[in-house]
Amino acid sequence: MKYTPVGPASRAELRAALLAQYDRAARELPWRADTDPYRILVSEIMLQQTRVETVRRYYGPWLDRFPTIDALASAREDVVLKAWEGLGYYRRARNLHRAARVVRESHGGTIPRTFEGLRGLPGVGEYTAGAVASIAFGAAVPAVDGNVRRVLARLFDAPAPTPAWLRERASELVDPERPGDWNQAVMELGATVCTPRGPRCAACPVAPWCAARAAGTQAERPAPLRKRAVPTSAIALAVIQHRGRLLLEKRPPDGLLAGMWAFPERHLPDDPAEAEERAGTGRPEREAGPDGAPGEEPGRAEALALVRSMGLAVVGEPLPLEPCRHRFTHLEAVYLPWALEVAKCDVVASGEVAWVEAGAPGNRAMPRAQQRVLDSWMRTIGVNTE
Ligand code: SF4
């Protein structure tokens, strides 16, 4: 791999230049106000795959609700998921909750100070451990996220940096005196100056050391990561209603959206290409049946079967709601919701279920896609929750 080394003397100058810029112009972010390890951990977990502006809205209320790691460890999972509602990637919330319990039970209530100790906590990967160890405890370890990857690839004009290469370069560069500020300064540079498209090299404090700038290859560095193709799956949702109330069920404690409240669902046994097409165009027209009569609309039979499997009887015609799609890490889900009025509310269910008032699932955390279905249901039947 092409690699333009930065010598020790030059490295010190580079650090000084970037840190001076960081001191002068860093964005004011609420989690930069102190170095409390719990607060730093919360912010770093929230920032994974989530925009800074979104995290700003959740960070303060989260700390009001769970001001200490012990408060978080003592909370019920339901309450934790509800506080996380809207941030997505709920596995992070469950892991943060588990980490708080591990800290209480195995570390005497004190967050580990070392990179290795932090790495042992649920949901804490290499990046998060590096960020917390350096920012909260002053450990001279790197933290390589997507922004840092881009900055380093350009600084060294590396077309396809591997994780090991990035770790090595980031470790060489980290400032031994101010490792936390250094890591944040590189991230800040990537977020505000050395952006994916149109890096502002003229305003960049590390431009004199930048090999990609010298070679004119900024736009090609780093080569984009190949996106993993994920399968598409069509899922029928049964929005079961009885006298204005809706039925939600609690999802199992493991697996996708574990522990959250959602509409009963059933996967359609169809081929991914059809689901993909459906996802792009909204709910499809009914296909003709063998005798030329209109065929079954996708998801209707599954939604009806779900209702019957719960010992409920449908009153009237099922009503199709607006389909919606949601991208999970490993799956593109196409939800096909059906509203079904049932005659009684005695449910046969293996797990926990609840009848909730329209538009008010109470303190139950619902996944974002399901909230969109709930909104669509309210629009369709004209529920006003104000
Ligand atoms: S000089 Fe340009 S390409 Fe190089 S680090 Fe700065 S902004 Fe990025």
pLDDT at 33: 80
Q: Find the 172 Cα to ligand 1 centroid distance in Å.
A: 18
H-helix segments, 125-223: 126-137, 146-155, 163-173, 179-192, 211-215
The answer to whether the CB of 14 is under 6 A from ligand 1 is no
Residue with the smallest CA separation from ligand 1 atom 1 is 207
Q: Find the 2 Cα to ligand 1 centroid distance in Å.
A: 17
Check whether 292 has a pLDDT greater than 80.
Answer: no
The answer to whether the CB of 207 is under 6 A from ligand 1 is yes
pLDDT at 382: 66
Ranges in the chain annotated CATH 3.90.79.10:
232-381
Q: Find the 168 Cα to ligand 1 centroid distance in Å.
A: 20
Minimum-distance ligand 1 atom for the alpha carbon of 206? 6
pLDDT class of 330 with cuts at 50, 70, 90: confident
Residue with the smallest CA separation from ligand 1 atom 4 is 210
> Which tens digits make up the pLDDT trace of 265-277?
999 985 544 544 5
Q: Find the 14 Cα to ligand 1 centroid distance in Å.
A: 12
* Residue range 286-290: mean pLDDT, rounded: 45
Q: Give the residue with greater pLDDT, 327 vs 33.
A: 327
> Which tens digits make up the pLDDT trace of 217-269?
999 999 887 777 888 999 999 999 998 899 999 999 888 898 899 999 999 98
Residue with the smallest CA separation from ligand 1 atom 8 is 194
Residues in Cβ contact with 223 at an 8 Å cutoff, skipping those fewer than 6 apart: 159, 160
pLDDT class of 213 with cuts at 50, 70, 90: very high
Write out the two tokens for 99: 């980490």
Instruction: Provide the residue count of the chain.
Output: 386
H-helix segments, the chain: 8-25, 37-47, 52-65, 69-74, 77-84, 91-106, 115-119, 126-137, 146-155, 163-173, 179-192, 211-215, 272-281, 300-309, 368-381
Q: CA-CA distance, 53 to 55, in Å (whole number)?
A: 6
pLDDT class of 348 with cuts at 50, 70, 90: confident
* Residue range 289-317: mean pLDDT, rounded: 80
CB atoms within 10 A of CB 254: 8
pLDDT at 6: 66
Sign of CA dihedral 249, 253, 255, 256: positive
Q: Find the 209 Cα to ligand 1 centroid distance in Å.
A: 9
pLDDT at 150: 97
Q: CA-CA distance, 185 to 18, in Å (whole number)?
A: 7
Strand partners, 355: 247
- The answer to which of 37-41, 112-116, 325-329 has the lowest mean pLDDT is 325-329
Q: Are 183 and 131 in contact (CB under 8 A)?
A: yes
The answer to whether the CB of 210 is under 6 A from ligand 1 is yes
Superfamily of domain 232-381 in CATH is: Nucleoside Triphosphate Pyrophosphohydrolase (3.90.79.10)
CATH number for region 8-220: 1.10.340.30
Buried b (16+ CB within 10 A) or exposed e, 117-145: bbbebebbebbbbbbbbbbbbbbbbbbbb
- Write down the catalytic residue from 13, 28, 44, 85: 44
Buried b (16+ CB within 10 A) or exposed e, 279-305: beeeeeeeeeeeeeeeeebbbbebbbe
For the question of whether the overall pTM of this predicted structure is more than 0.75, the answer is yes
Ranges in the chain annotated CATH 1.10.340.30:
8-220
Write out the two tokens for 334: 């196409």
Check whether 15 has a pLDDT greater than 90.
Answer: yes
Check whether 188 has a pLDDT greater than 70.
Answer: yes
Residue with the smallest CA separation from ligand 1 atom 2 is 201
The answer to whether the CB of 153 is under 6 A from ligand 1 is no
Check whether 286 has a pLDDT greater than 50.
Answer: no
The answer to whether the CB of 234 is under 6 A from ligand 1 is no
Minimum-distance ligand 1 atom for the alpha carbon of 193? 7
Strand partners, 353: 249
Q: CA-CA distance, 330 to 84, in Å (whole number)?
A: 21
13 in catalytic set: no
